[in-house]
Structure 1
Amino acid sequence: MKNSLVLIVEDEPAIARILEAYLLREGLRTVQAADGETALQHHALLKPDIVLLDARIPKLDGFAVLARLRQLSATPVIMVTALADDVDRLSGLHLGADDYVVKPFNPQEVVARVRAVLRRTMGQQDQAVLRFGTIEVDSGSFAAFVNRDGQRMPLTLTLSEFRILAHMIRHPTQAFARADILDACMPESDALARTVDTHISNLRRKLEEMGATGFFPSVRGIGYRLADPQ
């Protein structure tokens, strides 16, 4: 985890310096970008391990940057922004943010969330490949695929989406409560239970785009399962 590279995307120099100071104190490396275009350039060239992304930045706003990142990679992204409305929070999560921190924030809390995400991303030792139906999950490489018509097609997932899929594929017909999914897959987050609905909706859509239908049915009064029992 130490020496992991954090891309700080923040146009207020004082806030960027504070985040950098706390992250460096934890042994992490940092690089800064003050606008959306520079952030995408740094991401392409430097391949950071995680991105701290402000919403209100010049050239390309944070939501546009997040959407572009999600087309390119599954790099974990934590939104750090003054936009505290539920609509903004859900918009970020819908686009693929893995967590959402509202300004003003405690820098130590931000660092704790970064550490927790990196711990789960880089410390995973389970190399098992899990399969159910047409879905395949490789926990060691944090990759997921849909196998259809003899083709192995990669799924582009956020870290939270991958965690949920990897967690539920182990017991594909078990009904999982939203709170249990949060505890198992996003323990470092203070997200609300309805955040799970957004992630599940995104997972269902991405699978359907690959021709994998019938996954993640809702279970009335409980939450979700990966697939209904046959």
Structure 2
Amino acid sequence: MEEKKSTILVVDDEERIRKLLTMYLEREKYLIDEAADGETALQMALNKDYDLIILDLMLPGMDGIEVCEKLRESKATPVIMLTAKGEEANRVQGFEVGTDDYIVKPFSPREVVLRVKALLRRASKTKFLETEPTTKNVIVFPHLTIDHDAHRVKVDNHEVDLTPKEYDLLYYLAQNPDKVFSREDLLKDVWNYEFFGDLRTVDTHVKRLREKLNRVSENAAKMIVTVWGVGYKIEAENQA
């Protein structure tokens, strides 16, 4: 059976950049759609289930931050943000609203392809594993199960749809139950990103994680504990 091709939405108001990215990505057998503004991109992203979106930060009308923020209200589609040098604060804001990765302009198209492949690998759900009797890399709590091989999170036997970065954060905490991680630690180890800016990136993702878990199980949401003045941890025993 032929492998399903990943679909990618490329959003940039510069046609030259869109065509360059499209050319390189189509060489890798990806299916590409394009959008030149935020409003169009958002409607396309809401109406079609893309595997990944490459989103320019500075767009006419609705910018990349607003597009990502509105998208995250209903979808967990992986997003790579394109930013210009000197837009550090905007990149932080991008992480806060749910961006999974960013690439600084000017960029190497080959680097973009590598980042796309890496993010798609993290976001993919290997369905064939559903037929396997056991999987080795599974973390099990009373109300929460993380199957890392299948990149799948279940809460009380209901699958929860997370963005790649939300998943990375949950999995990182779950690997070390009851260990407290500072926001700086989490930025460095989960985001692979060090800066002296706003640490709300972590807070926002924790809040979003709790909200998604809480839709299924309040007990699962309560597992993510804030240790005031320090950071966050997963508390395995904090369940009914």
Normalization by structure 1: what TM-score? Answer: 0.76
Of 145, 156, 163, the match for 2:168 = 163
Identify if the C-alpha distance between structure 1 residues 114 and 182 changes in structure 2 by more than 3 Å, giving closer, same or farther: farther
- SS at structure 2 position matched to 1:96: coil
What is the match of residue 226 of structure 1? 234
More displaced, 50-59 or 165-174? 165-174
Q: Is the 8 A contact 2:53 2:78 kept in 1?
A: yes
Runs of 5+ consecutive residues of structure 1 not aligned to the other structure: none
Identify if the C-alpha distance between structure 1 residues 68 and 46 changes in structure 2 by more than 3 Å, giving closer, same or farther: same
Q: Is the 8 A contact 1:2 1:28 kept in 2?
A: no
Alpha-carbon shift at residue 45 of structure 1 (Å): 2.9
What is the match of residue 108 of structure 1? 110
Alpha-carbon shift at residue 153 of structure 1 (Å): 8.0
More displaced, 208-217 or 63-72? 208-217
Letter of the structure 2 residue corresponding to residue 77 of structure 1: V
Alpha-carbon shift at residue 84 of structure 1 (Å): 3.4
C-alpha distance in structure 2 between counterparts of 1:180 and 1:201, whole Å: 10
Alpha-carbon shift at residue 21 of structure 1 (Å): 0.9
Identify if the C-alpha distance between structure 1 residues 203 and 15 changes in structure 2 by more than 3 Å, giving closer, same or farther: closer
C-alpha distance in structure 2 between counterparts of 1:181 and 1:59, whole Å: 31
C-alpha distance in structure 2 between counterparts of 1:196 and 1:127, whole Å: 37
Alpha-carbon shift at residue 131 of structure 1 (Å): 4.1
C-alpha distance in structure 2 between counterparts of 1:115 and 1:2, whole Å: 14
C-alpha distance in structure 2 between counterparts of 1:160 and 1:207, whole Å: 10
Q: Is the 8 A contact 1:161 1:199 kept in 2?
A: no
C-alpha distance in structure 2 between counterparts of 1:34 and 1:59, whole Å: 11
Alpha-carbon shift at residue 60 of structure 1 (Å): 1.6
What is the match of residue 21 of structure 2? 19
Alpha-carbon shift at residue 72 of structure 1 (Å): 1.2
Q: Is the 8 A contact 1:143 1:154 kept in 2?
A: yes
C-alpha distance in structure 1 between counterparts of 2:70 and 2:151, whole Å: 20
Letter of the structure 1 residue corresponding to residue 177 of structure 2: P
- SS at structure 2 position matched to 1:39: helix
- SS at structure 2 position matched to 1:71: coil
More displaced, 59-68 or 117-126? 117-126
C-alpha distance in structure 1 between counterparts of 2:72 and 2:149, whole Å: 20
Letter of the structure 1 residue corresponding to residue 53 of structure 2: V
Letter of the structure 2 residue corresponding to residue 96 of structure 1: G
RMSD of aligned C-alpha atoms? 3.5
Alpha-carbon shift at residue 164 of structure 1 (Å): 1.8
Alpha-carbon shift at residue 13 of structure 1 (Å): 0.2
C-alpha distance in structure 1 between counterparts of 2:52 and 2:39, whole Å: 17
Of 55, 64, 71, the match for 2:73 = 71
C-alpha distance in structure 1 between counterparts of 2:9 and 2:200, whole Å: 25
Query: Could you give the per-residue CA deviations for residues 70-96 of structure 1, whole angstroms, max 9, x where no partner exists?
Result: 111111000012263321111000000
Q: Is the 8 A contact 1:93 1:198 kept in 2?
A: no
Alignment: residue pair count? 221
Normalization by structure 2: what TM-score? Answer: 0.74
Matches within 5 A, 1:141-220: 142=151, 144=153, 157-175=162-180, 182=188, 185=190, 191-192=193-194, 197-206=199-208, 209=211, 210=214, 212-213=221-222, 215-217=224-226
What is the match of residue 3 of structure 1? 5
